[in-house]
Every structure is written in structure tokens, then in C-alpha cells.
Homo-oligomer: A and B are copies of this chain.
Amino acid sequence: MEQDTSAFLQAAIDEARKGLEEGGIPIGSVLVHDGRIIGRGHNRRVQKGSAILHGEMDALENAGRQPAWVYQESTLYTTLSPCAMCSGAILLYGIKHVVIGENTTFMGEEQLLGSRGVRLEVHDDETCKALMRRFIEEKPELWDEDIGR
């Protein structure tokens, strides 16, 4: 399914944009199994007053309850390098492949994920970077809150 990487990353970007339009934090994610998106999500801190609905968590939640083998065969696409919480969820469910839009505006727990055998594919996507740069410039306090800083 490698040929679809850009389409799935685009779907994650579309989710990030949806979040931005809702007044939220522009980070999006999709969970892909067998060439099909089984969960889409975006950060909903603002929209739902949520401390746990980061983009990746929202995508996992929207995928619903899945057996272990589905996660183990899935790829998680996210517009931004996954934080400790989202990385922990990736490890819990044994997701083996994570495609990351960018890790310039925020570096998550890539080292931990790599040390546990998760294959990371980091793109240096200009759209992902532009979305985050603008957001961080406009709402630095909200961004700090989202990453526990």
C-alpha cells in the first residue's frame, strides 16, 4: 500500500484543517488497515475541552474497538511527530508503522518508538509545518497546554 502514502497523509492533513476550522489545534491523523482508513481524527482539546483527544488518540477512538491483529497490521498517519501519550498508545496496541508529516515544530517520542521496533517514516511536509508554525505563533499558550508545558 506504499503507493497510497501521500493520499493517506493528505487525509490526515484534511483532518488537521478541519480542526483549525473548528477553532482547534491543527493536528490530524488517520489509522489505515489493509489499504483502507478505519479511523480519522483531529485534536479536540478546544472543541471538547479534552485533555486526551490528540489527533492520533481521536483517530484510534474513532476506529472503535479492534482486535490486536488489526492494530498490528495497521499504519498510523499523523501530521505531527507523536507526543508521549500518543506514542504510548502506539506501543500499547503494537502499531508497527507510523508515517509522520513533520517533526520540525515538535519532536515527539520518536526515539522511544524506534527503540521498540516501530518503523517511522518522517516526511518534511511543508503544509504540515506551515499549519503548526502559524498556530504556534497565534496561540502559544494553547500549544503549551496541549503538550504539558
A-to-B contact residues, CB < 8 Å: 45, 49-52, 57, 60-61, 63-68, 71, 83-89, 91-94, 109, 112, 144-145, 147-149
- Which single member of B50, B91, B145 contacts A61 (CB below 8 Å)? B50
Chain B residues whose CB sits within 8 angstroms of the CB of A84 once the complex forms = 88-89, 91-92
Who on chain B is nearest to A46 by CB?
Answer: B65
User: Complex formed: what's the CA distance from A66 to B51 in Å?
Assistant: 8
Known: A91-B84, A92-B85. A51 touches B60 (CB 8 A): yes
Looking at chain A's contact residues, the main secondary structure is: helix
Judging by beta carbons under 8 Å apart, are A51 and B65 in contact?
yes
Cα A94 to Cα B85 in complex, Å, equals 11
Residues of B within 8 A of A88 (CB): 83-89, 91, 109
A52 to B31, CA, bound (A): 14
A94 adjacent to B148 (CB under 8 Å) = yes
Residues in chain B near residue A144, CB distance under 8 A: 68
User: Given A52-B57, A52-B60, A85-B85, A147–B67 Cβ distance below 8 Å?
Assistant: no
Minimum C-beta distance from A80 to chain B (A): 13
- Measured between beta carbons, the chain B residues less than 8 angstroms from A91 are 84-85, 88
List 12 contacting pairs A-B, 8 Å CB cutoff, sorted by A: A50-B61, A51-B61, A51-B93, A52-B60, A65-B145, A68-B144, A84-B92, A85-B85, A85-B92, A86-B88, A88-B91, A112-B112
